[in-house]
Amino acid sequence: MPITPAGAAHDAPNGTADAILLELVDEKGVTIGTAEKLTAHQPPGQLHRAFSVFLFDEQGRLLLQQRALGKYHSPGVWSNTCCGHPYPGEAPFAAAARRTYEELGVSPALLAEAGTVRYNHPDPASGLVEQEYNHLFVGLVQAPLAPDAQEVAATAYVTAAELAERHAKDTFSAWFMTVLDAARPAIRELTGPSAGW
């Protein structure tokens, strides 16, 4: 399959504006078609390919991002380092590396596959639905961040204990705990037992 460049425009269903196409998949993650991004997230949601990235510093702290307030889906909530959707035909690994750089201005020093997880999470605030077959990645970040303000409102490095405290008081994305729990075995392997993940 061809790889769609990051800046490529896609025709919207009504032909009036650019739209981003997502890859629709079956329950085994096999591609079955495409759909416009917003359409795929309308209730009840269409199962589509996604990715979630968890990057850590050399102290074993997880890099969180607060989603920009201007985003139409889950604005202002805290979530994992980076998440998104590959373009049709784009490898999830390539998409994860691309979007991490686009959102945070940094390329991972290490990025490794950490399995997949399938979930269905309605977002009460927006009314949108996350029906995703999500490819998980863990890695290391060693360079200074340069977040894109259109994508990221804030960032924070947290220990496992600090995440528990923050999760109790701040609003996190509907999918955050699902993808974190699914990635934990790979996170533990990356950070070691002393990090507490």
Known catalytic residues are 83, 132
Q: What is the number of helices (H) and of strands (E) in the chain?
A: 4, 9
The pair of three-digit structure tokens given for residue 29, joined into one six-digit string: 């993650």
**Cα distance between residue 3 and residue 180, in whole Å:** 28
CA angle 5, 112, 66 (to 5 degrees): 70
Annotate 122-189 with DSSP letters as a single string: E-TTT--EEEEEEEEEEEE--S-----TTTEEEEEEE-HHHHHHHHHHS-B-TTHHHHHHHHHHHHHH
